[in-house]
Chains A and B, each alone.
Chain A
Amino acid sequence: MEKVFNQLSDFLFSLLQGEENLILSFSGENSQFIRFNHATVRQTGLVDDADLGLKFISNSRTCRGGFTVSGDFDVDTARGKAEIVRMREEAKEIPEDPFLVLPENSGSSHEIKTANGLPFENAVEALVPAMAGMDFVGIWANGRMFRGNANNLGQKHWFETESFCLDYSLVTPEHQMVKGSFAGSDWDQNEYDIYVQRSRKKLALMNRKPVKVETGEYRTWFESAAVADFLGMFSWNGISEASLRQGCSGFGRMRHDDVRLSPKFSVVEDFSPGFCPQFNSNGEVAPEQLTLIENGVLKNTLVSSRSAKEYGVESNFAEGGEYMRSPKMSSGSLNQKDVVGQLGKGLYLSNIHYLNWSDNAGGRITGLTRYACFWVENGEIVAPIETMRFDDSFYHFFGDQLVDVEDKASINPEVETYGGRSLGATTCPGILVDSFKLTL
């Protein structure tokens, strides 16, 4: 795939005239997807996909294009040439862009991660036996992913990795569920079998009759996966500089009114684990670590080079959408074995679902409990709870209501596959909150 990208890049750069600039961004995958329901195969297939994005700058104008890369040089160069011609014409008639981000050559990178993964033809045989006797539903995604970037000044980045993820749910006859996500690069059959067996044991807890919790405010423990979902909201009308400037960020109170979150709450953008490339679609390389919130204080927002020009601030080479690509929340002092005891009486929430801002300016987020969520009394799990809606502000649960933070951060890999398989992960611990509002 890298060779295809390099050949196509060289060809397209050779078409440029005069002061024209071109930045190319490549994304591709060779993937296997197997969908399971009731521990059987519902759908199975393979997808080869690759897309080339073009950012063409000429006449103080920016145009973008993109097309599917077929792998056939003649087809792909014809598509690329047609795009250059189209954008060259368009650049003559659209308005001038006062915030142009021109390409630079600030160094190239090359990273290829090889793995001893599970061959596509062995997947069903390897995965299905461990599911026996359970109501197992989920998705297996496996294979190589590619990201590339190049510009006409000679800068070039290539990132290639191989990984698998079995994201699944186990379901009791009473419709209570346990979530699992077995992800990695090198396949270890024994490790997989043990992981699924652990989920099977968790499922036993779900066989207790669910209790109905009344609306109101409760002391609550959120496992790492739930905290990761809350942090995900920071990437949507959240910690983006553009969102703040455009009046649609929940962080306005931190920026304008110096409101602070708990001193126990710190978040950094951390590329050091290598979950995703450090370069963005402009080919710019972000700092390996960028502090966003430190001890409850907003230190940095995510700033793309375009926002930097528009608002007169310094870029930290965020992606154009100014979302977090590899966030990491600092751990605290609460050990997992002490969680239920410290919770005492309240809610133990393993996962949450379908979050949305209910009052963005107030930092208020609504959503629902899902999967292994329990009622706890006297420091012991009593029973799973029926699904409840919550509606509360992160200024509370990451702020004045945050009691303690788990001493270990877990990795929550990005499992979304809209358009293609995603890269990245959220690393975070669980949190204990003194009061959390259930509304329905």
Chain B
Amino acid sequence: MRINIDLQNLLSAVDVPAQWVGLREVFEAETPRMIRDGVPVANMRYSTHGIMVEVLIDGQFGYYGTPDMTTAGIDRAAKKAFQQAQLASRSATFQFDESARPAHTGSYRSPFVKDRESLSAGKLNALLMDAYTHLKVSDKIVSATSLCQVIEIATKFISSNGSDISQDFLMLEFDLRATAADGTNQQTRSFGGMRGTCRQMGMEYFDSHEIMAQAGKIGEQALELLSADECPSGEMDVVIAPDQMMLQIHESIGHALEVDRILGDERNYAGWSFVKLEDFGKLQYGSKVMNVTFDPTVSSEFASYGFDDGGLKAEKEYLIRDGILLRGLGGRESQIRSGVPGVSNFRSSGWNRAPIDRMANINLEPGDSTFDELISQVEKGVYMESNRSWSIDDYRNKFQFGCEYGKLIENGKMTATVKNPNYRGISNPFWNSLKALGNTDTFGIFGTPNCGKGEPNQVIRVGHASPACLFENIQVFGGV
């Protein structure tokens, strides 16, 4: 249940001699439902509601996240935040002023047709149960899961310098998963890998009958993997599907370009970056076919929004054009600290965390090859779909990814299925080995609901879109 708050009234009641005060109210409700092995294992609804009070004094921001949304509670929080900022100001990393929180007004509403309540809990459970039945194509499917999560978020941000922004989101996460096993030979196939489907959309998604067809295909492919050969090892070409490309982009472009990382804020946790401030405008990040955008304006992509949590208006920007690094993922604070051109990406995970530089939608723009044209260019290689394992070093250099499903490519054609396809590389040479991009027919929009970063830690939702991509001479290998 969401209670109504008059945020302007609360701001008026704040009595601290600060240079700037901001209030950011966040209500978020998550409704996950899951059927596993024919049994309901999750019918939940969790909500969180509170206000982040931020003040600026003597060049230092201080904050207080509180669920007490009374006038007295917010005034008390502001006074405590003021004290925290004042005590820290003599030891501040940077002396900010009001320009770090530009004044904007406006609103955003994510696109959807049918709201959460248009599909009852009973009907949604029945649909998930039906999907489970389609996943269970054989007794060798030892476990199968169908799940969805509806996310509703309402935020409001107002400030002493005139910001007044309201944003409302309805999002959906959906996944299907089947595990086939024969003794200790076990293989899992899912609907898009670890990230499944995640988009800004409503319950209209479930009107599609494709879900049952997909469920059947996933079950069959899990079985197919049980009897498949191991992925070969060696240096060869790879064609990577968009549902794996999304994580490749996330880990080896997105995180590497976060300006707060480059400035060292994350060195104790998420890490640093191989990118340096002086690389912007110069570094050949990838091959000339590579164009990457920060684009929170793509309709229905997971991390679209109108304004970031510092109040900056969201706009599309090229991060990499023709392979050259142009712009960093730095919000207003990082832009001021670094002098590097940035974007509107100052985001927080909720009312109890302060914003930091995050990804939003980071997309690799499509090229002009059909899928068959990509495959036809490969004499010996592997096609890989759907992430199942990921790891990268603290400088965002040495990565390793594992996928669920692979196909050998021999003499320009896809042939046998292979299990446990993995590849590894180093970010900058890897992106420079990008030979060709699929066209819009190969383009897929994905995202991740659980990107972790920051101290204190924050999980945030980001979107990634990509075509299928061909890379040359990559280290490929299989399982044990």
Name A's B-contacting residues (CB within 8 A): 31-35, 37-38, 40-51, 53, 61-72, 75, 78-79, 82-83, 86, 90, 93-95, 97-99, 120-121, 123-125, 128, 135, 137-139, 141, 167-169, 171, 175, 177, 245-248, 252-253, 256-257, 310, 353-364, 366-368, 370, 387-389, 391, 393, 416-419, 421, 439-440
Contact = CB atoms under 8 A, between A and B. Distances in A.
B250 to A, nearest CB: 13
Contacts of B67: 48-50, 68-71
B66 to A, nearest CB: 5
Interface centre among B263, B390, B456 (most CB of A within 10 A): B456
Interface of B: 1, 3, 35-37, 39-40, 42-50, 60-70, 73, 77, 80-81, 83-85, 87-88, 91-93, 120-122, 125, 129, 142-143, 179-181, 183-186, 188, 263-265, 267-269, 271-272, 352-354, 389-395, 397-398, 400, 402, 420, 422, 424-426, 452, 455-459, 475, 479-480
Contacts of B265: 35, 37, 42, 137
Given A124-B87, A393-B480, A75 B64 contact: no
Contacts of A45: 62-65, 81, 84, 354
Contact of A68 (B50, B264, B394): B50
Contact of B184 (A169, A177, A253): A253
Nearest to A34: B88
Given A34-B88, A257-B184, A356-B389, A389 B39 contact: no
Contacts of A93: 120-122, 125
A180 B457 CA distance: 18
Nearest to B459: A418
A354 B65 CA distance: 29
A106 to B, nearest CB: 24
Given A248-B143, A368-B391, A72 B263 contact: no
Given A68-B67, A95-B40, A121 B87 contact: yes
Nearest to B480: A362
Given A246-B143, A387-B398, A440-B400, A355 B188 contact: no
A65 B46 contact: yes
Contacts of B183: 256-257
Nearest to A99: B39
Contacts of A364: 479-480
8 contacts: A35-B455, A38-B93, A38-B264, A44-B88, A97-B39, A246-B37, A247-B186, A354-B393
Q: Which 7 A-B pairs have the closest CB atoms?
A: A362-B480, A93-B122, A45-B63, A246-B143, A139-B455, A417-B456, A247-B181
A69 B69 CA distance: 11
Contacts of B352: 47, 49
B50 A49 contact: yes
A46 B422 CA distance: 43
Contacts of B44: 63-66
Contacts of B70: 72
Contacts of B184: 252-253, 256-257, 361
Contact of A41 (B37, B92, B125, B422): B92
Interface centre among A95, A121, A247, A439 (most CB of B within 10 A): A247
